[in-house]
Amino acid sequence: MTEENKDEYGAKQIQVLGGLDAVRKRPGMYIGSTSIKGLHHLVYEAVDNSIDEALAGFCTRIDISLNKDGSVTIIDNGRGIPVDMHSKFNMPAVQVVMTKLHAGGKFGKGVYKVSGGLHGVGISVANALSKNLTVEIKRDGKIYKQEYARGKPETELKVIGDTEGTGTTITFMPDEEIFETTDFHFDTLSSRLRELAFLNKGLMINVSDKRTGKKHEFKYDGGIVSFIEYLDKNKTPLHKSIYFEKEKDSSVVEIAMQYNDSYQDNIFTFANNINTEEGGTHLNGFKAALTRTFNNYAKKHNLIKDEKLSGEDAREGLTAVISVKVSEPQFEGQTKTKLGNSEIRGIVESIVSSNLGDFLEQNPDIAKQMISKMANAAKAREAARKAKELTRRKGVLNGGSLPGKLADCQEKDSSRSELFIVEGDSAGGSAKQGRDRKFQAILPLRGKILNVEKARLNKIFENNEIATMISAIGTGIGDDFDIEKRRYNKVIIMTDADVDGNHIACLLLTFFYRYMQPLVENGHVYLAQPPLYKLGKGKKKVYVYNEKSKEAAVAKLGENVSVQRYKGLGEMNPVQLWDTTMNPDGRILKQVTVEDAVEADDVFTLLMGDKVEPRRKFIQDHAKEVQELDV
């Protein structure tokens, strides 16, 4: 395309790379799964079309609404999908976009310099997997409309009115024949849309839930600097955010970073608005330049002697957002969320080296504070190494011998075994007697484990209960973590259904999320659900797990029903514990998942971190949602 007609966007710019035949047969290949995650993916594909218009400079506002009938509507004020006839297919361009896989303006180099769209599967996949879909386009002074059912046109494209504006409106109803659930989660969608607003400075994104009246409005003129402020809102920052931006060879790199007084690093990377959870070349370039720049500065100004700061030391307490926009992204990795473009590493390295170096020279007091924190991290890392060696020599970490308090199972195939982490010795005793020793292992813990949110790695290794847990699970932790070495397929937290039990469960989840995160992400961590009451009438007994169920059961059983309230697991004999909480045929387990890493980090920081005021506000705001409280 020549410079003169770069804003042209019509049928000639729509290129087609394939048809829709396989989408309904194998939806998982195109949207990952037919679970709730895949359902939300449909919305992201539709929104990505609007984001592409924003990236090209034509769209300033996107409105998403979850409708009462279960459908979803996405409206943007971009140029509108082209409606002129496509010469090759002899149909309107919009119909090509809606019915042909890999069709759109993003495949040529003229219309969109960069584009999102997860892997280019586009709105046609959302159309194929929807019971019905309606598209309305405002363009060239007219309003056009076309309706589809399960990917096939139900009507011709027709003009239904006049307009002065431009833009596209898409409403679709996901197909219940395809999806396990068609019930959208407002909070999950909202989190991703907030992320997109941060990554696209100045773009207004509104999301509303017509079913509940919930609404969110996102617009961040500070872009990823606002993102850093959001991520660190419950932490204590050491300085104002540092921001760099560089454009080279049609690639744009933006980086915002800030250190806080916590011990965790929190780095989010994006390529063309896609969350690259597995990292890639942009992250590698950032890490290399960060460590080198701090070491060079520290040596030049005699802030460290012979020791060298490791990458781990340089990242302690760092919050960073790396956002790159590239014209032809290459995605790799198991879930195609790892950036592979080799040229990006060099661009990121050079931007971080020069800009961060300048910042440190211009802000010597902040630089000294940062390097002092890193030097302390280095000392703690050395102490952690010694503690790790000590525990390894005792056989705790190398799998040479398992902890004495672990009652292991007979099954050696990790895919068939499960570990119950049980609060207290008496409950541990009941669990050991009641379990099926073929595949169930029991590890009793004494008291509350260390709150890892407030401790460095050396303190974690010195904590007996945690060292015992690491040994039993077998994966190692942090940088040494290897999911293939896990000794159990399910790690089940089994605590009392009271305040103390919930606190212990929260401490354990914090540990798993911070130091064994892939264990959580891959669905290996569960919460057992012990009953709250045993109801009896004559020879009949019923176990119930909440107040609502108790009321329903009492009403069903009639008068003079005996009610036993379980204060703790230790009150149940081995047979009862097996029947209610451990038997795979009758138990209830809650699988712990991470739908949204930003939100998860925020909640762990809030509940387990140092700041009291945000925690109090969180508890007050959510108190009305508590269904049962045992004080």
pLDDT score at 116: 56
105 falls in which pLDDT band (50, 70, 90)?
A: low
Which long-range contacts link 245-251 to residues 24+ away (Cβ below 8 Å)? 246/347, 246/350, 246/351, 248/347, 249/343, 249/347, 250/113, 250/114, 250/326, 250/327, 251/324, 251/325, 251/326, 251/327, 251/341, 251/343, 251/344, 251/347
Residue 613 domain flag: yes
- Distance between CA atoms of 230 and 319, rounded to whole angstroms? 11
Q: Say whether pLDDT at 398 is over 50.
A: no
CATH number reported for the structural domain that contains residue 520 in this entry:
3.40.50.670
Q: Say whether pLDDT at 119 is over 80.
A: no
Residue 392 domain flag: no
Q: Say whether pLDDT at 4 is over 60.
A: no
Out of 159-173, 573-587, 592-606, give the one with best mean pLDDT: 159-173
What mean pLDDT is predicted for residues 89-117? 70
pLDDT score at 606: 74
pLDDT score at 497: 76
Kindly give the pairing relationship between strand 338-339 and strand 331-332.
Answer: antiparallel
What mean pLDDT is predicted for residues 113-131? 72
Q: Say whether pLDDT at 335 is over 80.
A: no
Q: Say whether pLDDT at 537 is over 90.
A: no
pLDDT score at 131: 95
The half-sphere exposure of 539 on its side-chain side, counting CA atoms within 13 A, is 0
Residue 325 domain flag: yes
Asked whether residue 484 falls in the same domain as residue 402, the answer is: yes
Asked whether residue 591 falls in the same domain as residue 545, the answer is: no
589 falls in which pLDDT band (50, 70, 90)?
A: very high
- Interval 15-28: pLDDT, tens: 654 557 678 888 88
Asked whether residue 103 falls in the same domain as residue 26, the answer is: yes
Residue 136 domain flag: yes
Asked whether residue 188 falls in the same domain as residue 170, the answer is: yes
- Distance between CA atoms of 513 and 49, rounded to whole angstroms? 33
Among residues 218, 250, 285, the one where a domain terminates is 218
Q: Say whether pLDDT at 357 is over 50.
A: yes
What mean pLDDT is predicted for residues 122-143? 94
Give me the residues paired with residue 137 across strands: 144, 168
Asked whether residue 66 falls in the same domain as residue 199, the answer is: yes
3-state helix, strand, coil in the chain (%, to 5): 40, 20, 40
Q: Say whether pLDDT at 68 is over 90.
A: yes
Burial status of residue 613 (CB atoms within 10 A of its CB: 0-12, 13-18, 19 or more): exposed
616 falls in which pLDDT band (50, 70, 90)?
A: confident
pLDDT higher for 235 or 204? 204
Residue 631 domain flag: no
Q: Say whether pLDDT at 507 is over 70.
A: yes
The proportion of the chain whose per-residue pLDDT surpasses 90, expressed as a percent, equals 52
Asked whether residue 313 falls in the same domain as residue 410, the answer is: no
CATH number reported for the structural domain that contains residue 285 in this entry:
3.30.230.10
- Count the domains in the chain: 4
What mean pLDDT is predicted for residues 510-533? 90
Q: State the pTM of this model.
A: 0.77
Asked whether residue 196 falls in the same domain as residue 76, the answer is: yes
Residue 389 domain flag: no
Asked whether residue 21 falls in the same domain as residue 34, the answer is: yes
Residue 387 domain flag: no
Among residues 541, 565, 589, the one where a domain terminates is 565
Asked whether residue 447 falls in the same domain as residue 458, the answer is: yes
- Distance between CA atoms of 239 and 594, rounded to whole angstroms? 30
228-238 in b/e form (b: 16+ CB < 10 A) is bbbbbebbebe
Structure tokens at 459: 């303190």
Residue 8's SS3 state is coil
Asked whether residue 333 falls in the same domain as residue 416, the answer is: no
What mean pLDDT is predicted for residues 357-363? 96
Asked whether residue 103 falls in the same domain as residue 61, the answer is: yes
pLDDT score at 143: 97
Q: Say whether pLDDT at 486 is over 60.
A: yes
Structural domain boundaries, residue 421: 398-531+575-625
Residue 88's SS3 state is coil
Among residues 324, 350, 382, the one where a domain terminates is 382
pLDDT score at 401: 59
Residue entry with tokens 């494209």: 157
Residues acting as catalytic residues: 423, 496, 498, 500
334 falls in which pLDDT band (50, 70, 90)?
A: low
Residue 47's SS3 state is helix
Give me the residues paired with residue 564 across strands: 534
State the chain's mean pLDDT as an integer. 87
Asked whether residue 210 falls in the same domain as residue 83, the answer is: yes
- Interval 595-611: pLDDT, tens: 767 777 777 777 777 77
pLDDT score at 596: 66
Residue 630 domain flag: no
pLDDT higher for 23 or 479? 23
pLDDT score at 534: 87
CATH number reported for the structural domain that contains residue 99 in this entry:
3.30.565.10
What mean pLDDT is predicted for residues 293-310? 92
Burial status of residue 69 (CB atoms within 10 A of its CB: 0-12, 13-18, 19 or more): exposed
pLDDT higher for 573 or 306? 573
What mean pLDDT is predicted for residues 352-364? 96
